[in-house]
Amino acid sequence: MKTRTAWEQVQLARHPKRPTCHILIQTLFPDFLELHGDQHFKDDPSIVGGIASLNGIPVTVISQEKGRTTEEKIKHNFGMPHPEGYHKALRLAKQAEKFHRPVIFFIDTPGAYPGIGAEERGQANAIAQSIQSYFELETQVISVILSEGGSGGALAIGIADQVWMFENATYSILSPEGFASILYKNATLAKEAAEDMKLTSKDLLKFGMIDKIVEEPEEGLHVTYIDTFNKLKTDLEQEIILLRKIPIPELLERRYQRYRKYGQYQG
């Protein structure tokens, strides 16, 4: 693995040529069938989900899509979900549970959308209910952070039995710009904030919050991704086989204990 500063990794995670979840899904799941809508309000294109097969095993795949061209970015709202996006994700996950399909999440979002409509339709409630519901989901869940893991917007599809992170992805409570603006009262100190926040895949692995780093090619995913994605596919297959051997009650207990231990304090 190449040694980079946190800020360099932030730049790579946001690189305009870095593949988004759409390309990841296309590569891993040629038979992916997209399913739309939350069945209450609308279809949120920042969340893309559906069914696919992974070496013969049907799986439900749910992702956050940022888009790469300007047109795509607008269509997908830059990967920032509204409440209906989280409702859609949960609906698809529950469908997976019914048919005993494992769920694979791909995370790539700057955060949940901060707008009037999002607030009117209960962004806070949607995230809280999502987080809670995934603790109760009686099927295997793997969550992979492809590029940006932005705060509650990422965590809302990030509760899983295995959490993996691409080497140059970030996972944080806030963007470095937002962090700098709040804590240093100066948004231009984002570079310093990125270092202080400890948001890289190596930091998260050290903290025990992820299980594995998905290694990227030397220059990053924007140069070449095929081999990395194919390797990820094999790893996902193997992991699902392993997770399926664990009885569901034990799986849920492990999931609970995993998150139960997070936090540092004395006494």
Partner 1 sequence: MDNFFEQHRLKRESFKEIYRKKTDLSIKISIPDHLFVKCDGCNELIYTKDLETAFYVCPQCGHYFTLTARKRIEMTIDEGTFQELDAFLLTANPLEFEGYTEKIKKYQNECDELEAFVSGIATIYNHKVAIGALDSHFMMGSMGSVVGEKVTRLVEFATKNKLPLIIYSASGGARMQEGIFSLMQMAKTSAALSRHGKAGLLYISVLTHPTTGGVAASFATLGDINIAEEGALIGFAGQRVIKQTIGQDLPVGFQTAEFQLEKGMLDMVVKRKEMKKTLVKLLHFHVGS
Tell me phi and psi for residue 34, to 5 degrees.
-75, 140
Shortest Cβ 182–partner 1 spacing (Å): 6
Minimum gap (Å) between residue 100 Cβ and partner 1: 21
Instruction: Please report the sign of the dihedral spanned by the C-alpha atoms of residue 255, residue 211, residue 148, residue 26.
Output: negative
Is residue 183 involved in binding partner 1 (CB under 8 A)? Answer: yes
In this structure, which amino acid lies at residue 46?
A: S
- The identity of residue 230, as a single letter, is N
Can residue 94 be called a binding residue for partner 1 (CB under 8 A)? Answer: no
Q: Which of residues 40-69 bind partner 1 (CB under 8 A)?
A: none
Residue 247 near residue 138, CB atoms below 8 Å: no
Asked whether the beta carbons of 102 and 60 are under 8 A apart, the reply is yes
- Asked whether 112 and 87 are in contact (CB, 8 A), the reply is no
Nearer to partner 1 among residue 104 and residue 118 (C-beta)? 118
Specify the residue, 50 or 85, whose C-beta has the smaller distance to partner 1.
85
Q: Distance between CA atoms of 237 and 101, rounded to whole angstroms?
A: 13
Cβ-based nearer residue to partner 1, 17 or 185: 185
User: Residues near 38 by Cβ (< 8 Å), separated by ≥ 6?
Assistant: 44, 84, 85, 87, 88, 91
Binders of partner 1 among residues 188 to 207 (CB under 8 A) are 196-199, 203-204, 207
Q: What SS3 state is found at 224?
A: coil
Q: Site residues for partner 1, window 144-163 (CB under 8 A)?
A: 151-152, 155-156, 158-159
266 binds partner 1 (CB under 8 A): yes
Q: Which among 51, 122, 124 has a CA at the least distance from the CA of 92?
A: 51
Q: Is 250 in the site for partner 1 (CB under 8 A)?
A: no
Q: How far is CA 129 from CA 14, 134, 159, 171, 220, in A?
A: 29, 9, 12, 21, 35
Binding partner 1 (rule: CB under 8 A), the pick from 26, 132, 186, 230 is: 132
Is 248 a binder of partner 1 (CB under 8 A)?
no
Instruction: Provide the mask over 109-128, with x wherever binding to partner 1 is found by CB under 8 A and - wherever it is not.
Output: ---xxxxx-xxxxxxxx-xx
Residue ranges that bind partner 1, judged by CB under 8 A? 112-116, 118-125, 127-129, 131-132, 135-136, 151-152, 155-156, 158-159, 171-174, 178-179, 182-183, 196-199, 203-204, 207, 209, 255-256, 259-260, 262-267
